Homo-oligomer: A and B are copies of this chain.
Amino acid sequence: MNGQTFVLKGDLCYSIDRYTTAGVPDGWLVCVDGVWEGVFRALPERYAGLPVLDYTGKLVIPGLVDLHVHAPQYTFRGLGLDLELLDWLDQRAFPEEARYADEDYAAAAYRRFVEEMRRGPNSRACVFATRHVPATEELMDQLEASGLITMVGKVNMDRNAPEALRESSAAGSLRDTAAWLEETRGKYRRTRPILTPRFIPSCTDELLSGLGELRRAWELPVQSHLSENRGEVEWVQQLCPWSSCYGDAYDHFGLFGGALGGTIMAHCVLSGEEEIARMKERDVTVAHCPQSNTNLASGIAPVRRYLEEGLSVGLGSDVAGGNHLSILRAMADAIQVSKLRWRLQDESLRPLTIPEAFWMGTLGGGAFFGKVGTFREGYEADAVVLDDSRLAGPREFSITERLERAIYLLEERDVAAKFVAGTRLFG
Contacts and interface: CB of A to CB of B under 8 A. Distances in A.
Interface string A389-412: 001011101000100110111010
A298 B343 contact: yes
A408 B81 contact: yes
A351 interface: yes
Contacts of A408: 77-78, 81, 323
A408 B109 CA distance: 20
A296 to B, nearest CB: 8
Consensus secondary structure, chain A interface: helix
Nearest to A354: B82
Interface string A63-82: 00000000000111111011
17 contacts: A75-B393, A76-B393, A77-B405, A78-B404, A78-B408, A78-B409, A79-B405, A81-B335, A82-B354, A294-B339, A295-B336, A297-B342, A297-B343, A299-B343, A299-B344, A340-B344, A411-B411
Contact of A108 (B75, B295, B394, B413): B394
Contacts of A395: 75
Interface residues of A, number: 47
B343 A75 contact: no
A79 B397 contact: yes
A105 interface: yes
Contact of A109 (B82, B291, B344, B394): B394
Contact of A300 (B77, B79, B340): B340
A175 to B, nearest CB: 29
A293 B77 CA distance: 26
A339 B76 CA distance: 20
A295 B405 CA distance: 13
Given A78-B407, A324-B409, 14 more contacts: A75-B395, A78-B404, A78-B408, A78-B409, A82-B353, A112-B394, A291-B336, A294-B336, A294-B337, A294-B340, A299-B344, A300-B340, A341-B344, A344-B344
